[in-house]
Structure 1
Amino acid sequence: MRAAILAVVVALAAVVVVVVMFSSSDEVKTPGCTVALPKGPNDASAPQYTLQPEPMNNAAIIAAVGIKQGLPSHAVTVALATALQESKLRNLSGGDRDSIGLFQQRPSQGWGTPDQLQDPVYSATEFYKKLAKLDNWQTIPITEAAQAVQRSGAPDAYAQWEEEATALTGALTGTYPAALTCRNLTLNPPANLVTVANAELGTARLSGAHPAAEGWRIASWLVARAAKLGVDRVSFAGQTWTAESGAWAADEKAGQNLSLHQAPVAPPSSS
């Protein structure tokens, strides 16, 4: 009897080990991007916010467009809080009535054509244009500024995203160095970085010496957009992020200048 019970216990233990192994493996391989802020004096742990690669990619575009237009980081926070509420930072092809895109803007309300509103650069640009026309947008609460632009049926809903939007803004505008990481990415073939960077950042100078905040802003944009742009390595200020490691690490060989590498296109299979 004891032998039978022991056999059952051993078998169950083996099942548990296998389940844990597979669960751990799945967790490690899950694609994701995380913004980790410095730990504050009253924080039990460092605040972290994790998104899937697609939403983080879109957040990077929204932030880049705002900075390109010369707007302060507060505008970026308003835009990100809005897109988090409206679409969870996903470029939706539809929504309530004729709403489309990251901000769920409506062609019938004069925001643009359906094709235009599915272009993140266009939709973000239009959002910022309307935001900047508000007399007091820089001083009123974020949720009120967002509502003044969107005229949503749920005017207070944007407030719930303020902390996350503020954290994303801090990383994507270069306020927090090495705060944004992406891991387990599936990289697209290398994109034309000059064209994309000019459209979103307003500059194609993606290497060389940069002031700290500007360098980290571009570095974070590159990491957040890495899957779409085929970027597998970014270095700045003595640190390097790689798609393989999914993390920033000290790198004496990297130097202080900004640099990047795009993954080579795999040769076609001979089979």
Structure 2
Amino acid sequence: MSESRGPRPRRRRPLRAAVGLLVLFAVIGYFAVQRYSNGGAGAPYCTATATAGGGQKYEMTPEQAANAATIAAVGISKGLPDRAVTIALATAMQESALRNLDHGDRDSLGLFQQRPSMGWGTPAQITDPVYSAGIFYDRLVEVPGYSRMPLTVAAQKVQRSGYPQAYAKHETDATVLTAAFGDGGVLFCSGPAPLKGDPEKVKAELLRAFGKEALAGSAGGTGGATAGGATAGGGSGGAAAGRTGAGGIPEQEINLRLKPNGGPAEERRGRAMAHWAVARSHELGIARVSYRGGGWIGGQARGVWQDKGGPGKSGDGDPHNSLGDEVRIFIAR
């Protein structure tokens, strides 16, 4: 006996797919508008770009950029090569996605998922990005020939991970980040201009990340501690009170003087401090950064660095005319 069949229901999959695509495009469009609205004062995000290799990019949140900046700063302050910084960044990318986690497998914590029970330090120490990066580097340099090893091998000798090959997938992005903080790249952050920061906190964080040399080069050895000492053209190394920046927001300056004739190592340190300031701008209330004729201004030009007097740039690019041997950081007050 044959069964009677009613009419087949209409297929609605194409319609559903079309609606799904429209929703997806709408979401993408919304975030694009948020990113590029108001000259880059929309949703905050950061981008690292390497000048070599076709201009590869790596995008991240301000939190991730701040942690990457700390990892790079600690390695550079220790005088370690770019390879060490790349290994550290790739390890943190795999272990925590560059987030300072308060949890993990068993008692693992922090950027590198280090374990108190395995002698890495106390929970408070491990969740301090400066400490956790420092002890990672300390153990890395104990590995003979680490700079010549494949990244996965070097990282594994420090971490003792159950998935050692996982570090390899982050090597390209970690190399881009290393170039941005060292040489051969750039890092910028978009988002609203900060409304308020604390110069003393910025100086304290600079000291923690880069060591006492970070503030040692300014006039009188103050490293930006003398209020009202700087002029618009720079040169005193003090902190300038009462300056007005973008949007009429008062600013105070920290002027970091580099060692004269310091060569590539000192230039690398200067670049790292400038990009560290940009990466931590949202957290620390840093409104502007100037270094070697270029300037970054929070909430303007889509967050990119501007060359002084460059065509199509807002303002004069480097609004405070930095010299070649200084990094000028302006904090919103």
TM-score under structure 2 length normalisation? 0.68
CA distance in 2, matches of 1:186, 1:98: 38
CA contact (8 A) 2:48 2:188 kept: yes
Alignment correspondent of 1:26 = 34
From 88, 103, 111, the counterpart of 1:102: 111
How far apart are 1:186 and its partner, in Å?
A: 6.9
| Mean CA deviation greater in 116-125 or 248-257 | 248-257
1:43-54 matched pairs, under 5 angstroms: 43=54, 46-54=55-63
Displacement after TM superposition at 1:258 (Å): 2.4
Say if 2:262 is the partner of 1:207.
Answer: no
Q: Letter of the aligned partner of 1:37 in structure 2? A: A
The one-letter amino acid paired with 1:50 is E
**Matched residue, 1:233:** 288
Distance 1:232 1:73 in 2: 28
How far apart are residue 47 of structure 1 and its match? 1.1
TM-superposition CA deviations, 1:185-239 (whole Å, max 9, x none): 5746325222211111112254345654332221111111111221110011111
For 1:190, the equivalent position in structure 2 comes to 198
Report the CA distance shift for 1:100/1:191 in structure 2 as closer, same or farther (over 3 A): farther
Q: CA RMSD in A?
A: 2.2
- What are the equivalent positions in structure 2 for 1:64-75 lying under 5 Å apart? 64-75=73-84
Separation of aligned partners in 2, 1:238 and 1:162: 31
Q: Residue 222 of structure 1 aligns to which amino acid in structure 2?
A: A
1:261 pairs with 2:330: yes
**Aligned position for 1:85:** 94
| SS at structure 1 position matched to 2:146 | coil
Secondary structure of the structure 2 residue equivalent to 1:34 = strand
Identical columns (%): 43
Corresponding residue of 1:76? 85
Deviations 1:31-88 (A, max 9, x none): 1110112254xx3xx2111010001100000111111122111111110000000000
Aligned to 1:267: none
Please list every run of 5 or more consecutive structure 1 residues that lacks an aligned counterpart in the other structure.
Answer: 1-14, 265-271
Q: 1:113 Cα deviation (Å)?
A: 0.9
The structure 1 residue matched to 2:304, chosen from 247, 252, 263, is 247
Judging changes above 3 Å, is the alpha-carbon distance between structure 1 residues 185 and 139 closer, same or farther for their aligned structure 2 residues?
A: farther
Letter of the aligned partner of 1:243 in structure 2? G
Give the number of equivalent residue pairs. Answer: 242
SS of 1:233's equivalent? strand
TM-score (norm 1): 0.82
Match of 1:56 among 65, 78, 82: 65
Q: CA contact under 8 A between 2:35 and 2:190: conserved in structure 1?
A: no
Give the letter aligned to residue 256 of structure 2: S
In the alignment, what sits opposite 1:6? none
Which residue identity lines up with residue 35 of structure 1 in the other structure? Answer: A
2: CA distance between counterparts of 1:26 and 1:237? Answer: 30
> Which amino acid in the other structure matches residue 247 of structure 1?
V
Mark the CA change 1:132 to 1:24 in structure 2 (over 3 Å): closer, same or farther.
closer
Taking structure 1 as reference, are residues 263 and 160 closer, same or farther at Cα in structure 2, changes over 3 Å only? same
**Structure 2: distance between partners of 1:234 and 1:24:** 25
